[in-house]
Amino acid sequence: MPSDRAEIFDPAAEETQDFYKIMIGSVVPRPIAWVSSKSSQGILNLAPFSFFTVASRQPPTLAVSIGPGVQERKGTVKDTLGNIRAQGEYVINIVPYALGKQMQTSSKHYAPEVDEFSEAGLTPHPSKTIDIPMVREAPISFECILDQVIPVGTDHLVLGRIQRAHVEAEAYLGNYKTDMDNWKPLARLAGDYAALTPRFHL
């Protein structure tokens, strides 16, 4: 059991941002979903989200939690969520260590009419089953169609069913395994990032 020296935090008694820091500094490392989407006007959007995981193995489903809009647009939703709702499809690209700077660039708060692919110097590449492009430079991409959006407090849990998975040759080890030592996944910590360290078996 916890020692007498343990700090105890009651989310009901703490400021939202303060308790958020406890969560993101504890639930680590987190993978990053680099979500590409498109507006009704055809503007491409690309944004990273670290509240991301597998939701179901059958049907293959990925979950991304998307927070509220930025302070300057209080009361709105992020462009990514609006685009997913409008189009019903999107791509989750997986971020490697080598594309960390480009991912960080795409995380900035741009106006809805700005194309983040262009801002980050990345190449949109056509998907096979949907009308949303993937990041050509990403080692792994999942074409998704929207299953459902579940409001969770201030955020929205987006569940997407995978239609196709793309794994680049240099990221594929064979036998349905990815070569993580080669493509080097990037993880989110609290305010920082982490690369893959030597692995071990338990």
Domain residue spans of the chain:
32-187
Whether residue 70 contacts residue 109, with contact meaning beta carbons closer than 8 Å, is answered with yes
User: Residue 14: its pLDDT value, please?
Assistant: 96
User: Residue 76: its pLDDT value, please?
Assistant: 64
Q: What is the chain's pLDDT, residue by residue, as a tens digit (202 residues)?
A: 667 899 999 999 999 999 999 999 999 999 999 999 999 999 999 999 999 999 999 999 999 999 987 654 555 689 999 999 999 999 999 999 999 999 999 999 999 999 999 999 999 999 999 999 999 999 999 999 999 999 999 999 999 999 999 999 999 999 999 999 999 999 999 989 999 888 888 9
User: Residue 72: its pLDDT value, please?
Assistant: 46
Superfamily name with CATH number, domain 32-187: Electron Transport, Fmn-binding Protein; Chain A (2.30.110.10)
Cα(58)–Cα(189) distance, integer angstroms: 29
Q: What is the pTM (predicted TM-score) of this model? A: 0.94
